[in-house]
């Protein structure tokens, strides 16, 4: 198959590129904004047609959650409009699309893991644009697979894990939020899941994927420092109200992964095992 990857320079896009080397039966077209402007409908249609694309993995997104509150136009363009353009273009070739979405489509007021059938209720610009993106993809491409994920980190790019390691080495004390609960996702595990879906065949639907387990940002930071061997920084738990941000964040955004595990017969690693793998690679 000819497979188009968008957002190839991001965390997930880079992890997918590593796996491409092991997946020689397909031809991958790795693009970021320099190679393809996905907000340009004509450019998308021409690229998909000229390269005879059979499937799209859309990793591109506007992910600056707080900046999105004051930059709604660009956020909407990347998270809502562009995915619809990609979906419509691949539909013309009777192809498939895997689109990456987010736990932010929920407001986080539940106290049990979110399942795919739960009604979305975003409470931020980012969450609203991502939900609209899901709806557009499913509307314009019959063979579309939405994967919602959360708390993504990787050896690539800027992310929470790298930031906490850096701050842990620089500071004597850190305050980290303890009343937001979720599950980290190692981008390499998500990339492997996506490749499994490609190789087994895309099963159109909405799915949830993160690592296994449940944790707060505070506990996550403590684990990062422990695994990275940082002992000189005192991590203090703080309330969300002590660290106000422009965008609201879900207080509880644990995702139930039963559906994707059953559909593809996969086991998902525990968050701490994957975190250790990532930190060892960063060392």
Indicate which residues carry an active-site annotation: 126
Q: How many residues are present in the chain? A: 283
CA distances from 245 to 67, 242, 248, 261 (A): 10, 10, 7, 34
- Maximum CA extent, the chain: 57
Contact (CB, 8 A) for 190 and 12: yes
Could you tell me where the beta strands, DSSP code E, fall in the chain? 2-6, 27-30, 55-58, 96-102, 143-149, 152-153, 173-177, 181-182, 185-186, 205-208, 215-216, 234-238
Do residues 245 and 66 touch, judged by C-beta distance below 8 A? yes
Nearest-angstrom CA–CA distance, 138 and 209: 18
For residue 33, which phi and psi values (nearest 5 degrees)?
A: -60, -30
Please identify which residue in the block is written with the tokens 């192809």.
Answer: 95
Residue 243 CA: distances (Å) to CA of 80, 165, 212, 238, 240 = 29, 20, 27, 8, 5
CA distance 169 to 97: 41
């Amino acid at each position: 198959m000819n497979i188009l990857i968008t957002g190839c320079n991001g965390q997930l896009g880079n992890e997918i590129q590593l796996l491409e080397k092991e997946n020689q039966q397909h031809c991958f077209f790795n693009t970021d904004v320099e190679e393809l402007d996905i907000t340009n409908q004509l450019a998308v249609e021409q690229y998909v047609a000229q390269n005879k694309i059979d499937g799209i993995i859309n990793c591109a997104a506007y992910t600056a959650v707080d900046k999105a509150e004051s930059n709604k136009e660009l956020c909407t363009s990347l998270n809502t409009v562009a995915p619809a353009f990609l979906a419509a273009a691949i539909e013309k070739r009777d192809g498939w699309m895997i689109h990456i979405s987010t736990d932010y489509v929920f407001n986080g007021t539940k106290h049990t893991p979110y399942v795919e059938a739960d009604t979305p209720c975003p409470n931020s610009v980012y969450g609203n644009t991502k939900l609209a993106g899901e709806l557009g993809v499913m509307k314009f491409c019959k063979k579309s697979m939405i994967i919602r994920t959360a708390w993504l980190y990787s050896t690539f790019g800027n992310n929470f894990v790298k930031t906490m390691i850096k701050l842990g080495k620089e500071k004597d004390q850190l305050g980290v939020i303890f009343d937001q609960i979720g599950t980290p996702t190692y981008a390499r595990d998500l990339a492997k899941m996506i490749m499994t879906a490609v190789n087994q065949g895309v099963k159109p639907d909405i799915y949830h994927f993160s690592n296994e387990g449940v944790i707060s940002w505070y506990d996550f930071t403590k684990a990062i420092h422990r695994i990275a061997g940082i002992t000189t920084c005192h991590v203090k738990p703080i309330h969300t109200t002590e660290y106000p941000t422009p965008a609201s964040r879900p207080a509880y955004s644990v995702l139930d992964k039963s559906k994707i595990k059953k559909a593809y017969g996969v086991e998902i690693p525990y968050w701490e095992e994957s975190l250790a793998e990532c930190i060892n690679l960063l060392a």
